[in-house]
């Protein structure tokens, strides 16, 4: 039986690796659809790689979170860095899920216009950025250093909102989700 700490290292590397490849692929997708890169055979391949690695990273994320919580010293979320890691990983999870659902629901239409290509790539890259920040916070927590130390990110400060702002944000998110779902599923009327 392996320890939760070792399992956390393995799952974290899977998440970081998958999201890194997804980030590179989403960047290439955007450059191809903006016409910066001109490789006519690349768009379908890069699109599939971007979404597959994003889905793989998304599937590995809960294992990384749960093993990280069980391997952390102390009682759960007792450190501001761990709270920030949870916030960042859940944000990345949301961006990734939104990106994958929109690709699944809309298909290749996500690449049909410059605006939708930029929006879709930005969603994928936001997921990647959130996960890489999570990994950086993990390095700061475990080893006291990370690759992003040169930016002096405030991992020790937790941004907490009052309850009414949190509830407002939650309601806005649910309303946007319902409206977008209705827009993607126009009701068919059979007379």
Residue 183 lies in a domain: no
CATH number for 69: 1.20.120
Task: Give the Cα separation of 92 and 86 in Å (integer).
Answer: 10
Side-chain-side CA neighbours of residue 101 (13 Å): 10
Residue 99 lies in a domain: yes
Q: What is the pLDDT along the chain (191 residues), one digit of tens a residue?
A: 778 778 888 888 899 899 999 999 999 999 998 889 888 888 889 999 999 999 999 999 889 888 877 776 666 566 777 777 778 888 888 889 888 988 888 888 888 888 888 888 988 999 998 888 888 877 777 777 777 776 666 666 666 666 776 677 677 767 777 776 777 666 544 44
Residue 63 lies in a domain: yes
| Long-range contacts of residues 73-76, Cβ cutoff 8 Å, at least 24 apart | none
Residue 170 lies in a domain: no
Q: Which residues fall within 8 angstroms of residue 51, CB to CB, at 6 or more apart?
A: 22, 99, 100, 103
Residue 91 lies in a domain: yes
CB atoms within 10 A of CB 18: 23
What was the pLDDT predicted at 54? 95
Residue 50 lies in a domain: yes
Residue 118 lies in a domain: yes
Task: Give the Cα separation of 187 and 159 in Å (integer).
Answer: 41
Tokens of 118: 């930029």
Sign of CA dihedral 166, 170, 173, 159: positive
What was the pLDDT predicted at 95? 87
Closest alpha carbon to 7 in 54, 59, 69, 56 = 69
Check: CB of residue 67 under 8 Å from CB of residue 150. Answer: no
Q: Domain count of the chain?
A: 1
Residue 127 lies in a domain: yes
**Boundaries of domain holding 96:** 4-157
């Amino acid at each position: 039986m392996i320890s939760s700490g070792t399992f956390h290292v393995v799952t974290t590397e899977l998440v970081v690796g998958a999201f890194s490849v997804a980030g590179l692929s989403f960047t290439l997708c955007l450059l191809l659809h903006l016409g910066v890169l001109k490789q006519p055979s690349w768009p379908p391949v890069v699109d599939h790689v971007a979404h597959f690695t994003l889905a793989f990273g998304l599937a590995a994320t809960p294992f990384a979170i749960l093993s990280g919580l069980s391997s952390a010293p102390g009682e759960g979320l007792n450190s501001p860095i761990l709270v920030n890691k949870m916030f960042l990983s859940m944000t990345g999870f949301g961006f990734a899920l939104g990106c994958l659902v929109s690709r699944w629901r809309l298909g290749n239409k996500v690449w049909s216009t410059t605006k939708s290509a930029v929006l879709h790539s930005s969603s994928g890259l936001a997921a990647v950025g959130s996960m890489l920040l999570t990994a950086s916070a993990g390095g700061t927590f475990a080893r006291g250093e990370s690759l992003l130390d040169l930016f002096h990110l405030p991992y020790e400060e937790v941004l907490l909102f009052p309850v009414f702002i949190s509830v407002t944000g939650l309601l806005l998110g649910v309303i946007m989700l319902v409206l977008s779902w209705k827009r993607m599923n126009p009701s068919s009327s059979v007379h």
